[in-house]
Amino acid sequence: MTPAPPVGTAICGLGSVTSIGGSPDACFDALLHGRTGLAPLRVFDPDRYNVTSAYEVDDRPDRTDRPGRAGDLLVTAVRQAAEQAGLDDLTDVPVLVGTGLREQRTAELAWAARTTVDPDRLHFGGVLGDELGARDVHTFSNACSASLYALALGADLVEGGAPDVVVAGVDVLTASMVGLLDRVHADPPDRVRPFDSDRKGVVLGEGAAAVVLSRRRPALARLSAVALGCDAFHVTAPDPLGIERTIRAGHEASGVDAVDVDVVYAHGTGTVLNDQAEAQALALVFGNGDCGPAIAAVKGATGHTSGGSGLFSLVMAVLGLQHGRVPGISGLRAVHQAARGLGVSALPRQLPGHSVVQVNAFGFGGLNAVAMLQRADTR
């Protein structure tokens, strides 16, 4: 009897850099050991804001901001993923980048200095071409689900015949976004506390993540589906039913049932509305008992890394599949009522037999995305 073909698209290279580590392995180790990247604001004047901390990548030893940081982090993550996959030449490889703000900080610095900036340098194609030889670069901005939207397009390209595709996500702190959130939070949160009853809101983080999708290279894990939804329920308030529909679409597209899902990497922003809606949606799909999946939420350690956050969760999920471990939720002290009965925990868990993982990412306007992963040997 001929064996069934492997399920889904091969993920064969990983890259990431965040406030908790400069590589995927370093980030995953930090998650397992409860380390966070929370620190006092590094280059933003705390006297101008109510918030005094963030999850910044510590790559500015002189505490002076510089243009092009998003591109720099992006290059690091893409290089890591390409090297692990054995992808030496990116000239003809599509590179799809999900981001919320692209190089907006570069534009802010130019405005503050009363100088101009070449618009071409605000596009990631320039730095990826200069540093890695990439010539086919496309940027997608779908709010905080941007990198999983890019992942869906990348999987379509591979299914359509592309030998290899690089998918990445990146965002860094900008003065405008820090200021916007400062206006929203009358009582600024001290940190991100996903699914905690005392959560106050989001604290921003920085980082980049990347994966290589391939038709021909050995798989670290397999991407079995990415479901996308845009319910347009509200500009900022998420809709539990819209989230539920996207989760169920992801399960159907990947050929699994809810009972097959072992781990969910939640969006978990630590905001009042998002955590409430996401917990409600998870309860609708998985029930509210002891038999549901383990729930992870990385933003308690990294802050909200915006457009790149979904792909970073996916990179951590691949490592979780390989190591049979599920990180605890940093900052979780008392579980919010809506999440009681779900598999949330502040402690890491051993889950050596798990093979199906769901990754959530949600953006403003109901831009919902759910990726489904399976172990590389799943057939």
Q: How confident is the model at residue 2, as a pLDDT?
A: 39
Q: Report the candidate in 349, 376, 314, 377 with the shortest Cα–Cα distance to residue 145.
A: 314
In order of 98, 149, 214, 282, 328, the CA distances from 95 in angstroms are 10, 13, 12, 32, 32
Is residue 196's pLDDT more than 60? yes
What is this structure's pTM?
Answer: 0.96
Tell which wins on pLDDT, 28 or 353: 28
SS percent in the chain: helix, strand, coil, step 5: 35, 25, 40
Q: Average pLDDT for residues 318-331, to the nearest whole number? A: 97
* Cα 298 to Cα 55: distance, rounded to the nearest angstrom: 12
Q: What is the CATH number of domain 9-214?
A: 3.40.47.10
Q: Report the candidate in 253, 194, 247 with the shortest Cα–Cα distance to residue 225.
A: 253
Is residue 345's pLDDT more than 50? yes
Q: What is the CATH number of domain 223-375?
A: 3.40.47.10
Q: pLDDT band at residue 126, thresholds of 50, 70 and 90?
A: very high
For the record, the structure tokens of 329 come out as 């939720």
Q: Report the candidate in 362, 76, 137, 99 with the shortest Cα–Cα distance to residue 232.
A: 362
Three-state SS at 242: helix
Is residue 370's pLDDT more than 70? yes
Whole-number average pLDDT of the chain: 93
Say whether 223-375 and 9-214 share the same fold: yes
Q: pLDDT band at residue 7, thresholds of 50, 70 and 90?
A: low
Domain residues of the chain, as ranges? 9-214, 223-375
